[in-house]
Amino acid sequence: MASPPPTPRLVFREMRPDDLDDMAALLGDPEVMRYYPRPKSRDEALAWIAWNQRLYRERGFGLWLLTLREGGEFVGECGLTPQQVDGVTEIEVGYHVRARLQGRGYATEAAAACRDYARDVLGVDRLIAIIHPGNRPSQRVAEKIGLAVERETDNRGRFDGMQRIYAASLKRVR
């Protein structure tokens, strides 16, 4: 299974069960998960890893674990997932960065690499990000990689409140 190539500061790799401590700390952090209904439990973090492993097998992509190129420190996760939005399957770029590493451009660097991977390797024509209206830092990441607000939706009641759909066409002009 491939993943985006390393960026100047980051390396992507598939999640493994032995990443549970890092992923449980990330997804269980109230600051990281402040725009979600609640932080995830350790069991939910393990299910998150299993979901991504299934996506790697079935789709050839998912959310990848992020580490620093220098030293290998765990940064978070970033990648691509299929999401049902208003009855249509879309490919979403998603990202979570450890609270103490936020504000350093890691999410933008990783999300840009995933956008390019989606377009250049997977042939994805359209990319979205589903973002809580109050999550301005995540909105800025989406904007920096070329996504723009398309609409707000509660996804036919499937979202916990209204979410903003950021989107961009990845089709190359020929």
User: In CATH, what number is assigned to the domain containing residue 143?
Assistant: 3.40.630.30
Angle of the 136-144 helix axis to the 106-120 helix axis, nearest 10:
40
155, pLDDT greater than 90: no
pLDDT digits (tens, 9 = 90+) for 36-58: 999 999 999 999 999 999 999 99
Residue found by looking up tokens 């985006």 in the block: 4
Q: How many CA atoms lie within 13 A of 60 on its CB side?
A: 8
- Number of domains present in the structure of the chain: 1
Q: Is residue 174 part of a domain?
A: no
Which helix (H) or strand (E) segment holds residue 170: the answer is none
Does residue 115 belong to any structural domain of this protein? yes
Per-residue pLDDT, 173: 56
Higher local confidence (pLDDT), 1 or 67: 67
Q: Is residue 127 part of a domain?
A: yes
For residue 35, pLDDT over 90 is answered with yes
Within-domain flag for 83? yes
Residue 1: what pLDDT? 53
Residues 6 and 77: their CA atoms lie apart, in Å, by: 13
Domain extent at residue 52: 10-169
The answer to whether residue 3 is domain-embedded is no
What does the alpha-carbon distance between residue 4 and residue 117 come to, in Å, rounded to a whole number?
6
Query: What are the tens digits of pLDDT across the range 103-145?
Result: 999 999 999 999 999 999 999 999 999 999 999 999 999 999 9
